[in-house]
Amino acid sequence: MFTENQIKLAAAASAIAHPIKVAILECLTANDGWHEECLSNKINLPKDSVQKGLQELRALGLIQGNIKEVEMRFRLNKENWQEFKDYIRSNFD
C-alpha cells in the first residue's frame, strides 16, 4: 500500500511535527549536549513536556541519551541526524 520511502518520510515528518520537538532539536544542534532539566529551562517549557519530546526523538533515533552523574544527558545522534536532513532534502528539492 505505502512505499518504504513514504513510510520513512512520514516518520521523519513526525519528528518535527511539534514545536517542542523542534525547540529540542534547535537546542541540541546549537550545543553538544544538555541535561534534561537544562533543556526544560532553556526552552522554558514544563519538564514533562520536554521529557515526552525527548522520548519521541530518541525512539526515532535522532537523539541519544547517556547517563552522566545522576542525570540523563541528551545529544544529537549525528549520523542519524545527517541522514534525516539528507532524506528530507532529497524528497523536497
pTM for this model (two decimals): 0.79
Pick the CATH number of 4-92 from 3.30.590.20, 1.10.1060.10, 1.10.10.10, 3.40.30.10: 1.10.10.10
Contact 63, 27 (CB under 8 A): no
Q: Rounded to 5 degrees, what angle do the CA atoms 57, 60, 61 make?
A: 90
Digit-coded pLDDT (tens) for 23-82: 888 888 888 777 777 788 888 888 888 888 988 898 888 889 877 666 778 889 999 889
Annotated domain spans of the chain: 4-92
Q: Which of 42, 39, 35, 63 is nearest to 50 (CA)?
A: 39
